[in-house]
Amino acid sequence: MTQASSEAPKTGGQLSRLDQIKRHTKVVADTGDFTAMKQYEPLDATTNPSLILKAVRKEEYQTILKQAVEAHRGTGETEKEKIDRIMGELLVLFGSEILKIIPGRVSTETDARFSFDTAKIVDDGRRFIRLYEEKGIARERILIKVASTWEGIRAAEQLEKEGIRCNLTLLFSLPQAIACAEAGVQLISPFVGRIYDWYKKSTGKEYTGAEDPGVQSVRTIYNYYKKFGYKTEVMGASFRNTGQIVELTGCDLLTISPELLEELANNRDPVERKLDPESAMAADIEKVSLDESAFRYRLNEDAMATEKTAEGIRNFAADAVKLEGLIRKQLG
């Protein structure tokens, strides 16, 4: 199942950049598009409301939306209750189809509107696992995606204690990453491209290679985790270009859009491993202790992380509302 290997190619040779990266890093498909998954053979796949919304607007995925709606059309529930159930069913149907294609795990996202309500996030995560298990899919193949708020991290901590693995998303800073690791979550998804976007807009500067702030953020988190022995996996996410991906070769996982997967597959330039545990152990890093007040203060001091976390929650919530609108139309 694993793609990662310690064997390093001497040159690019006949291997594509994508295949070279797979020697050091588990590649994940950042899409709800089944065709792309079959083409690029990722280990895992991630979804979110925005990706599912994009997928169900395509003709070939209309049957999944209709299937979810028809399963609940005749129930005696209120419209809101029906839509909630259909939404859950839709996300799980997509995840179930994805798991027929990939050998690993799929990430399914909790409602962004619950991002500041620990109890509701826990309930949402349990609901998804129950729906998957009703379809005969083991919880080990599911990652429940949760926003990296303090409340989200606490919810993930509880879910992990119940054997429900979590992927902490909308993560933009070391304090968020440290709190996630201390909570024992399975995986985090630091958003490289959105960090880059903020700094580019803020400074007017174009960042490339190792100087990219998004790349630097993931490198810092990776080194911190490896140096202090945390088991939480680091999955770089939200890439804007292949240069960012190449600079993070060696990260535990990288989740990549179909467009960038295609670019990497068509390029045979050599790729060197950039991140590795041995180098991380030698990094000069101070261990940080965070309680709730320290977490909130340090996050507040980071304007980029504060703004991008809030923006991400708003955008995912807005796309969830749009997805509910499509379901409402199908209900007639």
The model's pLDDT over 2-32, given as tens digits with 9 standing for 90+, comes to 454 434 444 445 899 999 999 999 999 999 9
**Domain presence at residue 301:** yes
Catalytic annotation, pick one of 145, 226, 274, 308: 145
Structural domain range at position 181:
17-331
Q: Which residues pair with 147 in a beta bridge?
A: 169
pLDDT at site 5: 43
**Domain presence at residue 95:** yes
**Domain presence at residue 179:** yes
Nearest CA among 170, 220, 166, 209 for reference residue 191: 170
What tokens appear for 107 in the block?
């990430």
CATH of the domain at 214: 3.20.20.70
305 within 8 A of 172, measured Cβ to Cβ: yes
pLDDT at site 4: 46
**Domain presence at residue 61:** yes
d(CA 298, CA 232) in angstroms, rounded, equals 21
The model's pLDDT over 107-157, given as tens digits with 9 standing for 90+, comes to 999 999 999 999 999 999 999 999 999 999 999 999 999 999 999 999 999
CA angle 96, 100, 104 (to 5 degrees): 90
> Based on the structure, what is the number of domains in the chain?
1
Q: Can 10 be counted among the known catalytic residues?
A: no
**Domain presence at residue 112:** yes
Using DSSP's 3-state secondary structure scheme, residue 27 falls into strand
**Domain presence at residue 222:** yes
d(CA 241, CA 209) in angstroms, rounded, equals 10
d(CA 106, CA 149) in angstroms, rounded, equals 22
What tokens appear for 136 in the block?
């005969």
**Domain presence at residue 7:** no
What tokens appear for 158 in the block?
């509880």
- The values of phi and psi at residue 29, to 5°, are -85, 125
**Domain presence at residue 287:** yes
